[in-house]
Amino acid sequence: MDFGIAGRWALVCAASKGLGKGCAQALAREGVNLVITARGDAALQATAAELRGLAPGIEVRTVAGDITTPEGRAAALVACPQVDILVNNAGGPPPGDFRQWDREAWIKALDANMLTPIELIKATVDAMAARGFGRIVNITSGAVKAPIDILGLSNGARSGLTGFVAGLSRQPQLAGRNVTINNLLPGAFDTDRLQITFKGAAAKTGTPVEQLAQARRKTIPAQRFGQADEFGALCAFVCSQHAGYLTGQNLLIDGGAFGGTF
């Protein structure tokens, strides 16, 4: 299937590794020009080189910086000639007990996982509508549908974003101009973040990482973790010209882990 987005420009945030990188790779395969961001320049340059190898015809620009800061966002936006596709992503907040979180911890989580995507949407969405094409994908979490108690900062901040997007995506001046806004909700994906979580749990409990990972796999109907490239493939489809009638949705991709009917 031709996704019909070759030659468009995408800003993919937090894309040197993991799910953001998976999205950048899938968009590159569709011929989309890319601006990718991450905090560390070395991994970012390595990813950019991989992307250029995947799709020699596209332009790939890099912006090293923290996307959760006004400076990081400004630099990312300036680097992109026009944002046709926006993939919002940033690292998730740390786990913990809400009794230990002060106002600063909450503001940090809200900044990263709610207000940063909203600021980037604000900066790009009206120009998308004026051009008659726009695709915005927010990487959130399966925890929006099935909250995880130790991830209270994530549950809270991402639910705030989800509620906001539910309203915004239905504005006729956006949906009626072929601008869609959707959230992708990952379950357990085999990325650095997941490995770090297992290493932390192994250090605490003394149980080997592989044993913890295997126990977790068994809880997922697919009996495995997701791969970043399958996440990227869904992202690319949602960004394609074929998905103009899909907006305001929360698409869970979790190997069947969420047990509800809807």
**Contacts with ligand NAD, residue ranges (CB under 6 A):** 14, 16-20, 37-40, 66-68, 89-92, 139, 141-142, 186, 188-189, 191-194
Residue 59: other Cβ atoms inside 10 A: 12
- CB-nearer residue toward ligand NAD: 25 or 174: 25
Beta bridge partner(s), residue 185: 252
DSSP annotation of 185? E
The smaller minimum CB distance to ligand NAD, of residues 34 and 174, is found at 34
* Min CB(167)–ligand NAD separation in Å: 22
CB of 50 to ligand NAD, least distance (A): 13
Residues 6+ apart with CB under 8 A from 226: 186, 187, 188, 189, 190, 253, 254, 255
Minimum CB distance to ligand NAD, residue 51 (Å): 13
Q: Per DSSP, what are the bridge partners of residue 186?
A: 253
Q: Which tokens is 180 given?
A: 């869609």
Smallest separation, CB 22 to ligand NAD (Å): 8
Query: For residues 243 and 71, what is the distance between their CA atoms, to the nearest angstrom?
Result: 32
- CA atoms of 171 and 224, how far apart (whole Å): 38
Nearest to ligand NAD of 125, 188 (CB atom) = 188
In this complex, which beta carbon is closest to ligand NAD, that of residue 63 or of residue 168?
63
